[in-house]
Amino acid sequence: MNRPVLPGATIGVLGSGQLGRMLALEAKRMGYRVHTLSPGVDTPTGQVADLEVSAEYDDLEAIRAFARGVDVVTFEFENVLIDAADAAAEIVPVRPSGSALHITQQRAREKAFLADRGYPVAPFAKAQSLDELAVGLGAVGLPAIVKTSVFGYDGKGQHRINSIEEGERVWGLIGHQEAIIERLVEFTMEISVVAARGLDGEFAHYGVIENVHHNHILDLSVCPARLPAGIGHEAVHLTHRVLEDLGYVGVLCVEFFVTGDGRLLINEIAPRPHNSGHFTIDACVTSQFEQQVRAVCGLSLGDPAQIRPAAMVNLLGDLWINGEPDWAAAMAVPDVKLHLYGKGDPLVGRKMGHLTALGESVEEAAAKALAARDVLC
């Protein structure tokens, strides 16, 4: 069961977005074949995979048939049903495991997992009714953020609340579904740590990444983060503990808030390569996607060393407002690398691609990445 999955074998990816695409590109470079399954067609992953299967995630027979055609299954999207991960695991190894997915795909469960083990998190409460929402707001304190427990990412299903009276309106807005209430954190910086754990417990990390969000969506990441070394070591140490406590195999990202008094609070765990780690493709010896291939295939982890300071900016559908962005202008900015995900429909807020820039310093890299994005439209 634990023999490595070697080049020439086939990796099955549940989900078919940009994370699967970048994973597939690295896997194919290394000589693997890649199959992807999702309800879509002509998807970002499907465009570069050897086989694109179109099926619903709750079609367990389709999942089993998919698993029979591959040597290992991973996922690029944490909202894959546990039943789907379990059905695939009847046939081939699934990495990371369904149990790690189970904990991290539901905010309330993830927060309880962290709080029960003594990890630092913002005050939070769970609410399954309007009454519980009111009680929770009282307990957590205001201002607060209400987040739907499932299917929330990039700020989807999130609402800020400044008074108890706003609870009823927000409960309606989120469709009366289970939610968690979190105290609004007054942070001075948001950071993340992208790290991997191998099948034999080996650990590798990319240091601390500094992130700026706009409308709850990641806008800019720079690495290395500009913060005191002690805080960075603590963030890496906490991430290592999370990987161990989850018995995790693969790449994972822990997102943190840094408070004014230098404390760290874990915001969330993403059980997969992460948007803030995209710079690793162009700036590190081993990218987060190659690292994911190595970990899920049971190989040694690669060297995560960063070669040059880097910055990454996301390209959202908003940039298409005046038609196709001016790619040639962006490519004229030195040390800028373009990544587009093959998505046809540039909706507002949709992640269409990203730019990575390298520099002598993170300031220089960020200036180049922002300049290249500015000239797009």
Residues near ligand AMP (CB under 6 A) are: 122, 145, 152-153, 155, 182, 184-185, 190, 213, 216, 255, 267-268
Q: How far is the CB of 59 from ligand AMP (least distance, A)?
A: 28
Residue nearer to ligand AMP on the CB measure, 76 or 268: 268
Q: What is the DSSP letter of 299?
A: P
Nearest by Cα to 355 from 221, 256, 260, 227:
221
Q: How far is the CB of 111 from ligand AMP (least distance, A)?
A: 10
CA angle 21, 26, 32 (to 5 degrees): 100
Residue nearer to ligand AMP on the CB measure, 176 or 214: 214
Q: How far is the CB of 137 from ligand AMP (least distance, A)?
A: 13
Q: How far is the CB of 267 from ligand AMP (least distance, A)?
A: 5
Q: How far is the CA of 81 from the CAs of 24, 69, 179, 274, 342, in angstroms?
A: 21, 20, 19, 20, 25
Cβ burial 126-138 (10 Å sphere, 16+ → b, else e): bbeeeebbbebbe
Beta-ladder partners of 268: 255
Nearest by Cα to 308 from 329, 334, 330:
334
Strand 51-54, strand 33-38: pairing: parallel
Residue nearer to ligand AMP on the CB measure, 22 or 145: 145
Residue nearer to ligand AMP on the CB measure, 10 or 267: 267
Residue nearer to ligand AMP on the CB measure, 124 or 320: 124
Q: Residue with the closest Cβ to ligand AMP?
A: 185
d(CA 149, CA 141): 19
CA angle 265, 269, 272 (to 5 degrees): 150
Q: Is 290 helix (H, G, I), strand (E, B) or coil?
A: helix
Residue nearer to ligand AMP on the CB measure, 10 or 106: 106
Q: How far is the CB of 194 from ligand AMP (least distance, A)?
A: 14
Q: How far is the CB of 124 from ligand AMP (least distance, A)?
A: 8
- Chain centroid to Cα 68, Å, comes to 27
Residue nearer to ligand AMP on the CB measure, 122 or 352: 122
Q: How far is the CB of 38 from ligand AMP (least distance, A)?
A: 21
